[in-house]
């Protein structure tokens, strides 16, 4: 994977089902995993304001029944833990719909150490449509690590203080576990619309604080490819998995927009016959 002799990073995008593709990735081979899995928050038809075109999430890939959702989370998390190097970091983002199940699974079933929960505060979050709840303006990130007696997690403390700052976190002070980052700006969405595209700033913070240059970062639910783009910007190698054709095209266009000879990109289709993929 590493090609630092040429000063190039390598990026692999795999079109396929994460549950199947993860099984093809070697044991103990990944330095950092960032995962932004389905939340199971979608309503079949979504909710909308009468005077606005905004509709809440209603994506088929985000709808599971309760047992199916728990088993799905247990399966992909188990595969991720297997692929992670000892001492590697495992980040999972989510909302209250999924993050408590996920915390239970990584702590009690896979015995990982949870190092922090990060609260991502969105100062410009969407208003609440029903007016029957507080306005959700946060998402949660779990940062866990797969430690053993010889390998502990990596934390770039100096970089975290100097390079992570916002209205809550002054530059050159210890960084709090509350990060203020606005919703994904329009300029990051010029290659197409993904309903839950994360801001590059969120990925930058994760990647620079818990990995080193030329480390390999895996994202099993790549969506619009934010992790790959951030890896390109921050000189890490990456592997992304996504099963939706439309989103794969957004990833390709975003990566092409970044490619200037300084990276190597491989696209693969996994299991065309099994998945009916083209």
Ligand X SMILES: C[S@@+](CC[C@H](N)C(=O)[O-])C[C@H]1O[C@@H](n2cnc3c(N)ncnc32)[C@H](O)[C@@H]1O
Chain residues binding ligand X by CB under 6 A are 17-19, 36, 38, 61, 194, 196-198, 221, 223-224, 226, 241-244, 247
Q: How far is the CB of 2 from ligand X (least distance, A)?
A: 24
Cβ atoms 14, 241 nearer than 8 A: yes
Q: How far is the CB of 17 from ligand X (least distance, A)?
A: 5
**CA atoms of 30 and 44, how far apart (whole Å):** 36
Tokens found for residue 152: 């502990």
| 88 or 240: CB nearest ligand X | 240
Q: How far is the CB of 214 from ligand X (least distance, A)?
A: 22
| 113 or 277: CB nearest ligand X | 277
| 61 or 96: CB nearest ligand X | 61
Q: Which residue has the tokens 């303006």?
A: 137
Q: Looking at beta carbons, which residue is closest to ligand X?
A: 223
Q: How far is the CB of 36 from ligand X (least distance, A)?
A: 3
Q: How far is the CB of 31 from ligand X (least distance, A)?
A: 18
| 2 or 244: CB nearest ligand X | 244
CA–CA distances in Å: residue 190 to residues 93, 117, 183, 186:
23, 31, 15, 7
| 54 or 152: CB nearest ligand X | 54
Helices assigned H by DSSP within the chain: 18-21, 66-83, 99-104, 157-163, 200-210, 226-233, 245-258, 272-275
Tokens found for residue 145: 């690590």
Please enumerate in sequence order all residues whose Cβ is within 8 A of that of 147, keeping only pairs 6 or more positions apart, or say none: 86, 87, 112, 113, 153
| 210 or 226: CB nearest ligand X | 226
Q: How far is the CB of 168 from ligand X (least distance, A)?
A: 22
Q: Which residues face 201 on adjacent strands?
A: none
């Amino acid at each position: 994977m590493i090609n630092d002799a040429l000063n190039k990073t390598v990026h692999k995008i795999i079109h396929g089902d994460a549950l199947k593709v993860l099984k093809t990735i070697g044991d103990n081979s990944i330095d950092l995993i960032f995962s932004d899995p389905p939340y199971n928050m979608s309503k079949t038809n979504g909710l909308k304001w009468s005077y606005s075109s905004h509709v809440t999430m209603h994506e088929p890939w985000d709808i599971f029944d309760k047992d199916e959702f728990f088993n799905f989370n247990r399966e992909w998390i188990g595969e991720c833990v297997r692929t992670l190097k000892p001492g590697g970091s495992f980040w999972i983002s989510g909302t209250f719909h999924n993050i408590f199940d996920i915390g239970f699974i990584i702590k009690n079933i896979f015995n990982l150490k949870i190092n922090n929960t990060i609260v991502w505060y969105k100062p410009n979050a969407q208003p609440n449509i029903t007016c029957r709840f507080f306005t959700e303006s946060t998402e949660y990130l779990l940062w866990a690590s797969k430690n053993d007696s010889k390998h502990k997690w990596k934390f770039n403390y100096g970089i975290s203080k100097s390079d992570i700052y916002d209205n809550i976190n002054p530059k050159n002070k210890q960084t709090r576990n509350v990060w203020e980052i606005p919703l994904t700006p329009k300029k990051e969405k010029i290659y197409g619309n993904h309903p839950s595209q994360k801001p590059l700033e969120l990925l930058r913070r994760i990647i620079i604080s818990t990995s080193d240059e030329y480390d390999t970062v895996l994202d099993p639910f790549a969506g619009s490819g934010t992790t790959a783009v951030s890896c390109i910007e921050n000189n890490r190698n990456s592997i992304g998995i996504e099963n939706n054709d439309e989103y794969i095209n957004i990833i390709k266009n975003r990566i092409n927009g970044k490619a200037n000879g300084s990276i190597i990109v491989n696209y693969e289709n996994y299991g065309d016959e099994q998945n009916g993929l083209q």
